[in-house]
Structures are given as C-alpha cells and as structure tokens.
Structure 1
Amino acid sequence: MTAAPRDVEQFYSTAEVVAKLRRLADALETDQPFRIQIAGERVRVPARAQFSIEHERGDGEEEIEFQLKWTLADAGEDADEATEADDKPVV
C-alpha cells in the first residue's frame, strides 16, 4: 500500500523542538529507527535515512532545514528492528 502524498509544515514550541531533536540525536547516534508525530501523523524514520541540512536565502528571509530522506523500501527493512523507544509515546 502506498502512502498518500503529504506536504505539511508544523510549528512547535522551543521545548517541543528540543525534545524531538534530543530523541533524533539519540537515534542517529545509536543507528536506530526514529519515530515522530507531525501534525497528528506518526512517521517512522529508518536508521538508514539520509540526513541533510539546507540553507535558503531570498526575499529578505533566510531558512535552514534539517531534512531526513529515505525510500519506502528502506522503511520496510527497519520494520523488524523495533526498539523499546517505539513503545513509548511519540513526541
């Protein structure tokens, strides 16, 4: 089954972002999958996801994006690699 296309931007408080980034850093450091809830939808990021940082400038604004990208096939390979963190509430 293919996931429906989605393009959302969700704003969070500084405390919420800090908590999400700490969990992401822990997952990256231990080569584990990462789960996150964004705008009401839970997303599982496989350990093999590619991480990039983008910088954009234009029209009097600047933007930095921290981006994780993976194929759906990569996500399926990690499905069996459940961790205790997967059973905890997603922040």
Structure 2
Amino acid sequence: MKKERDVEKVYSNAEFAAKLRRLADAVETGDKFEIQIAGERIYVPVRASFSVEHEREEGEEEIEFQIRWSREE
C-alpha cells in the first residue's frame, strides 16, 4: 500500500500549459495520462473522473482542476 501524500508543486506558465495540453490530449483520445509530481510518477487511468472546483474566502479565490480515481489494489 502506498503512503499518504499531500504535495503541491508550482510550475512556470509554460510548464503548466504543457501539462494541461498533454492532459487534454489524453482525455480527448481516451488514453491514460502520466505525470511526474515532486519526484513521483503518477499514472492516471482512463476511468478517472474530472471536475473543476472554485473556492472564495478572505480576499482570495482558487480554481482547482481535479482528477480523481480509486486505486485498485
């Protein structure tokens, strides 16, 4: 079983755009998506679900693009 993890990685605009393009291509073609975040390679299966979340509090706003799936162990 993998350890719990909660990591946030900041990317340059160009790096973030490239990752979004690769994700969009994978979603559009129905392929799995691979990404490396803070040294760990993550494999996102085709069955993942996608959502967009918006939060607003104390003078700040946040949009999160979320990808969620259950691990089959």
Q: What TM-score does the superposition give when structure 2 sets the normalisation length?
A: 0.96
**How large is the Cα RMSD of the aligned pairs?**
0.9
Structure 2: gaps of 5 or more residues:
none
Task: Tell me how many residue pairs correspond in the alignment.
Answer: 73
Which has the larger strand fraction?
Answer: 2
Aligned pairs (5 A) from 1:52-71: 52-71=51-70
In 2: Cα distance, 1:52 partner to 1:40 partner: 25
In 1: Cα distance, 2:26 partner to 2:7 partner: 23
Q: What TM-score does the superposition give when structure 1 sets the normalisation length?
A: 0.78
- The reply to whether residue 49 of structure 1 matches residue 64 of structure 2 is no
Stretches (4+) displaced over 3 A: none
In 2: Cα distance, 1:38 partner to 1:9 partner: 8
- The aligned amino acid for 2:42 is V
Q: Which structure would you say has the larger RCO, counting Cα contacts within 8 Å and 6 or more residues apart? A: 1
